[in-house]
Structure 1
């Protein structure tokens, strides 16, 4: 029984990496055979050499730390505001009537199209990048929080009232757990938008971070470093998604959609 469980856990670990590894192998083979020019797309081995070079000079650690700080600080600001507004509109219909229409109008504006305006407002400093990331992550969290609150089974709410729950205790023990699956789904969507927003913001206007490293490498035609920056963004995004999935499985063990996953 223990051996089967160990084998199952091992399979769950490596199975998601099968396709990425096959893609890397195919990429390397096409590069060595000459089908892919190194000027267009350097091979994985060339990218590894570039990684070794930026590790030696120490810049990669500084830039990754700067980008990660920007991403999650923007996520915290935008996500917190969106979560609170989603709760208000979901719980209080009068708040929805006054606020939701305005939020929906702002949501239809592509936030990355506002970059020229944001630069005019805030310059090219940290504020502009945090603003763009915050704006990008806010709407998926808002929509999923609002929808999650409104989708809670009224029968569960009524049962909670029968057992004497009301006010804050009813919210924390019935409404919030019932909406949690939707909220966490919104967080996973927002994590992807978070990195997308940061990539564009750092590439256009930055003096540090992974996007700045990519822009600087592009000016000197260092394609291996540019590809390395793209891979770094992909890995950071994957790690963020894994963290979100971990909390989903941890906090939603009781949920019928997650019971089978936990077994």
Structure 2
């Protein structure tokens, strides 16, 4: 009997690939070289993303050099292939703000306050956006579960605090472990949100789909002029992920609110 197509299982397999490769590398390295383990996990995510994103983009690591400041080293720097770069050597690139399509911070787990990690990322994307590139997007990818009792609420609270009402400091996507996904919407009314305007939604997803959806959202959001009819291939959860949303917070709200079902 011929096997049926299954886009949902395909995306689960992408998330499983990330976990298996991460564990395989860590089994070889052990617990003595955490810095090397961290670098390898960034490289794994870059490799997987490179296999899906449009070929007009370069996926590597590097720095964005503004007129008055240079970013921290960016774990995953998505940049245009259609403009000149300041310096390039393999995965490493130094680019001007107009070249940056997206930046991603990668963490094995969160030790300490999530707000510190988000601040660093928001500082970098704010520098890029205030130097003429409002289209650059930012994301945080965490491999291990974000194990707090109020995980989604705390993430939304922190991401809102870090933005502080400033759209230039907005972080677009967060995968907080395999099951919590957060996405920013410029217009909440487009997704039947309780907030008409800028808003973050948190989603609780099963089977490592937060990791898969993080990648899908990067691929989808960084490409313009995509046919909306093709969403079935990238976002295959039955009924859409909006059925799995749990909390929301507007850019100018004070506290997250739970969705009523």
Q: Is the TM value for this pair above 0.5?
A: no
TM-score by length of 1: 0.24
- The structure whose residues are more often strand, as a share, is 2
The higher-RCO structure (CA 8 Å, 6+ apart) is: 1
TM-score by length of 2: 0.24
